[in-house]
């Protein structure tokens, strides 16, 4: 069976996929109501939007770097 030499292996793609999901969760945590001309929204300074969400996004970006640099274990081909 022919084995194509791809840049990423299955484990790299799984790690990168999980990282993308974590980054999306972080951006969703940052979202919420905005301040408008009609009124001030104090929720823009909540702990979730100022501290938790950026840390979650940062964790996702670090995991993405790890997923890209994760070493692939070479399969030994049996002849």
20-70 tens-digit pLDDT: 999 999 999 999 888 888 888 888 899 999 999 999 999 999 999 999 998
Report the pLDDT value the prediction gives residue 57, as an integer from 0 to 100. 98
pTM above 0.85? no
Residue 33, domain member (yes or no): yes
Residue 38, domain member (yes or no): yes
> With left for phi above 0 and alpha for psi between -120 and 50, is residue 32 left, alpha or beta?
left
Residue 74, domain member (yes or no): no
73 against 10, higher pLDDT? 10
70 against 3, higher pLDDT? 70
Residue 41, domain member (yes or no): yes
Q: Is the pLDDT of residue 74 over 70?
A: no
Helices then strands (H, E): number in the chain?
A: 3, 0
Q: Which residues of 28-65 are buried (b: 16+ CB within 10 A; e: fewer)?
A: ebeeeeeeeeeeeeeeeeeeeeeeebeebbeebeebbe
Domain that holds residue 51: 10-69
Residue 19, domain member (yes or no): yes
d(CA 18, CA 38): 40
Residue 77, domain member (yes or no): no
Residue 54, domain member (yes or no): yes
Number of domains in the chain: 1
Q: Is the pLDDT of residue 77 over 70?
A: no
């Amino acid at each position: 069976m022919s084995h194509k030499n791809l840049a990423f292996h299955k484990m790299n793609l799984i790690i990168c996929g999980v990282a993308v999901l974590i980054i999306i969760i972080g951006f969703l945590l940052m979202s919420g109501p905005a301040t408008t001309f009609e009124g001030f929204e104090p929720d823009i300074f909540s702990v979730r939007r100022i501290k938790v969400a950026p840390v979650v996004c940062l964790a996702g970006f670090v995991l993405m770097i790890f997923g890209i640099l994760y070493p692939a274990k070479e399969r030994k081909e049996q002849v």
